[in-house]
């Protein structure tokens, strides 16, 4: 059938991802290709020292994004979007969203970007012998308990942003296992929250203001490929106040952006990995076996299927690069040579490609927020150079791009050198790769590995969660997700692979040596009020 017929018959699938700078909706057809999209731009807010998104902005952004999707469908195909075969919600992982018995939010949403839980994360890591990063939901909860915050005894439900939006639309307090793995450690054999650690947490919090059993406030884990609820009348009204889009659409389990990135790059098999680069940057490496040691720089999460994944997560990636590009754009505008934003980025990347491999000693720290991988609890963008550095635009541009991946490279060294984790392939996706060269080449040099960019690399997590929704709606219920993605989605999809250039690799190694030596300067700068 044609695309219009597919949409009219309700056979298309919808994915919505709430990212750090935009909410994106994607409609895909039966061949999994995107048919239409909707966008809503937003930004986090620093309120009273806490990075947050007000939940009213979540509702408004969700509705505006879906309105934009419906308008795009109508414009392109001349039909109304009234139903779908499957629907999925994805969002930034981790953070702290807690509600009372009546469903009222108890404190403002504390996002992944906050670095306020160092004490709790360290204590839980020691108690569990399992790394608990600062941004994980359980670290936020335990920190609030240690502070004896007044809301603690009122908590009856804790979830992620994806879990919250899924609840708004379906009324179901559920989660996908990948997103759940950023709330609390997972037992991969049982595909559930780790029972021994759950019991230990209850013992640790005995006698505190927190009187609930941890298991009673966590969302239920729903397996991938299973229906996790249906769009309610209230949910349909929230998405589309006009009443055009109808209730009853089945939803797949809500997932985190890390897991939808894995789906969008077909990197859920062992010895595969992917790098997602946008406001933050992270690498997901599917493990063959457990790591030998606990590393504070390495998180253990899961694929959408529940298989263990080593995750190197860095809070900072493109924000500082974006600020410099805006600055250069302002200069060009003042000179009467304004460039559209995409052309401006292409120009900066082209200049970076011509820079010397070690950036002539120009070092860029892109830390807008704290960075646990390098032990910083606060950040401040910083640029330094030697007095005799060749301070040209090409070397500066290259240093800014290097800065987006430098911290990731530090974390990945632990996996590849200390833990000897083997990789067959790494896929890259996200905003950093909209202009593939030189970012793809620079990432290859930084990680010392081949980097593949699929044709779908620009589609992102909204497409990834739409694929998970399509997998839920499949006819062959026995087909695994890995088989489904390989046979039905990526079978005929091409990609471009770049290997590390020896000169670039040597230059990046020199850069990262100076970068690590200068961390003390970045730490000092971040403390300046």
Domain assignment present for 134? no
pLDDT-derived band at 246 (thresholds 50, 70, 90) equals: very high
Q: Which of 306, 297, 299 is nearest to 268 (CA)?
A: 306
Domain assignment present for 114? no
Backbone angles phi, psi at 170, to 5 degrees: -120, -20
Dump the DSSP string for 139-153.
Answer: HHHHHHHHTT-TTGG
Look up residue 105 and give its two tokens: 């939010």
Q: Which of 174, 180, 216 is nearest to 88 (CA)?
A: 174
Per the structure, the complete domain to which residue 329 belongs is given by 266-455+499-529
How many CB atoms neighbour CB 30 within 10 A? Answer: 17
Domain assignment present for 396? yes
* Share of residues in the chain with pLDDT > 90 (%): 82
Does the pLDDT at position 458 exceed 70?
A: no
In tens, the pLDDT along 292-301 reads 999 998 999 9
Q: Which of 26-40, 372-386, 505-519 has the lowest mean pLDDT?
A: 372-386
pLDDT-derived band at 492 (thresholds 50, 70, 90) equals: confident
CB contact set of 125 (below 8 Å; sequence gap of 6+): 131, 132, 294, 296
pLDDT-derived band at 37 (thresholds 50, 70, 90) equals: very high
Does the pLDDT at position 382 exceed 80?
A: yes
Does the pLDDT at position 436 exceed 70?
A: no
In tens, the pLDDT along 91-103 reads 999 999 999 999 9
Give the total residue count for the chain.
529
CA–CA separation, 21 vs 110, rounded Å? Answer: 16
CA–CA separation, 236 vs 224, rounded Å? Answer: 23
The pLDDT of residue 74 is 98
Q: What is the mean pLDDT of residues 472-477?
A: 94
The mean of the pLDDT values for the chain is: 94
Q: What is the mean pLDDT of residues 507-521?
A: 97
Domain assignment present for 355? yes
Query: Rounded to the nearest 10 degrees, how much is the dihedral formed by the CA atoms of 293, 295, 301, 306?
Result: -10
In tens, the pLDDT along 266-301 reads 889 888 888 988 888 989 999 988 899 999 989 999
Domain assignment present for 518? yes
In tens, the pLDDT along 65-119 reads 999 999 999 999 999 999 999 999 999 999 999 999 999 999 999 999 888 999 9
pLDDT-derived band at 372 (thresholds 50, 70, 90) equals: confident
Strands 272-277 and 425-429: parallel
Dump the DSSP string for 401-452.
Answer: HHHHHHHHHHHHHIIIIIS----SEEEEESGGGSSHHHHHHHHHHHHTS-EE
Q: Which residue has the higher pLDDT, 439 or 44?
A: 44
Domain assignment present for 85? no
Q: What is the mean pLDDT of residues 489-500?
A: 86
Q: What is the mean pLDDT of residues 333-345?
A: 94
pLDDT-derived band at 457 (thresholds 50, 70, 90) equals: low
CA–CA separation, 500 vs 457, rounded Å? Answer: 19
Domain assignment present for 529? yes
CATH of residue 336: 3.30.420.40
Domain assignment present for 21? no
Backbone angles phi, psi at 364, to 5 degrees: -120, 120
CA–CA separation, 250 vs 508, rounded Å? Answer: 48
The pLDDT of residue 438 is 76
* Share of residues in the chain with pLDDT > 70 (%): 99
The pLDDT of residue 282 is 87
Backbone angles phi, psi at 234, to 5 degrees: -65, -40
Q: How many structural domains compose the chain?
A: 1
Judged by phi (left if over 0) then psi (alpha if -120 to 50, else beta), residue 491 lies in alpha
Q: Which of 123-132, 170-179, 341-350, 462-471 has the lowest mean pLDDT?
A: 341-350
């Amino acid at each position: 059938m044609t695309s219009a017929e597919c949409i009219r018959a309700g056979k298309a699938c919808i994915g919505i991802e709430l990212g750090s700078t935009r909410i994106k909706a994607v409609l895909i057809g039966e061949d999994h290709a995107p048919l239409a999209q909707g966008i809503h731009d937003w930004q986090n807010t620093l309120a009273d020292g806490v990075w947050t998104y007000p939940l009213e902005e979540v509702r408004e952004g969700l509705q505006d994004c879906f309105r934009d999707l419906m308008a795009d469908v109508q414009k392109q195909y001349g039909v109304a979007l009234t139903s779908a075969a499957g629907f999925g919600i994805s969002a930034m992982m981790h953070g702290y969203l807690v509600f009372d018995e009546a469903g009222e939010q108890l404190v403002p949403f504390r996002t992944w970007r906050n670095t306020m839980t160092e004490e709790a994360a360290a204590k839980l890591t020691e108690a569990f012998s399992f790394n608990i990063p600062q941004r994980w939901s359980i670290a936020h909860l335990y920190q609030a308990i240690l502070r004896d915050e007044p809301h603690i005894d009122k908590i009856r439900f804790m979830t992620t942003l994806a879990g919250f939006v899924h609840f708004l639309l379906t009324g179901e307090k559920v989660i996908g296992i990948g997103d759940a793995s950023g709330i609390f450690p997972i037992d991969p054999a049982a595909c559930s929250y780790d029972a021994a650690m759950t019991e230990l947490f209850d013992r640790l919090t005995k006698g505190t203001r927190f009187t609930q059993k941890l298991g009673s406030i966590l969302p239920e884990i729903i397996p991938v490929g299973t229906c996790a609820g249906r769009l309610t009348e209230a949910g349909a009204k929230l998405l589309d106040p006009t009443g055009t889009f109808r209730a009853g659409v089945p939803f797949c389990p809500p997932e985190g952006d890390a897991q939808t990135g894995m789906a969008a790059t077909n990197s859920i098999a062992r010895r595969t990995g992917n790098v997602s680069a946008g406001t933050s940057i992270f690498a997901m490496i599917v493990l063959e076996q457990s790591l030998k040691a606990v590393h504070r720089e390495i998180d253990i999460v899961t694929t959408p299927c529940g298989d263990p994944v080593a995750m190197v997560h860095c809070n900072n990636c493109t924000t500082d690069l974006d600020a410099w590009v805006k600055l250069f754009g302002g200069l060009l505008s003042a000179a009467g040579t304004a460039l559209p934003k995409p052309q401006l980025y292409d120009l900066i990347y082209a200049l970076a490609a011509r820079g010397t491999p070690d950036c002539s000693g120009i070092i860029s720290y892109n830390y807008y927020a704290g960075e646990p991988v390098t032990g910083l609890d606060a950040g401040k963008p910083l640029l330094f150079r030697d007095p005799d550095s060749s301070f040209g635009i090409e070397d500066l541009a290259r240093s800014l791009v290097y800065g987006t991946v430098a911290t990731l490279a530090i974390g990945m060294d632990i996996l590849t050198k200390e833990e000897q984790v083997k990789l067959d392939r790494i896929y890259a996706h996200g905003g950093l790769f909209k202009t593939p060269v030189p970012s793809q080449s620079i990432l290859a040099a930084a990680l010392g590995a081949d980097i593949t960019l699929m044709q779908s690399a620009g589609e992102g997590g909204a497409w990834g969660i739409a694929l998970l929704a399509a997998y839920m709606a499949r006819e062959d219920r026995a087909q695994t997700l890995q088989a489904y993605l390989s046979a039905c989605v990526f079978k005929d999809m091409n990609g471009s692979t770049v290997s590390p250039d020896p000169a670039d690799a040597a230059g990046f190694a020199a850069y990262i040596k100076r970068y690590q030596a200068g961390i003390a300067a970045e730490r000092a700068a971040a403390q300046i009020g």
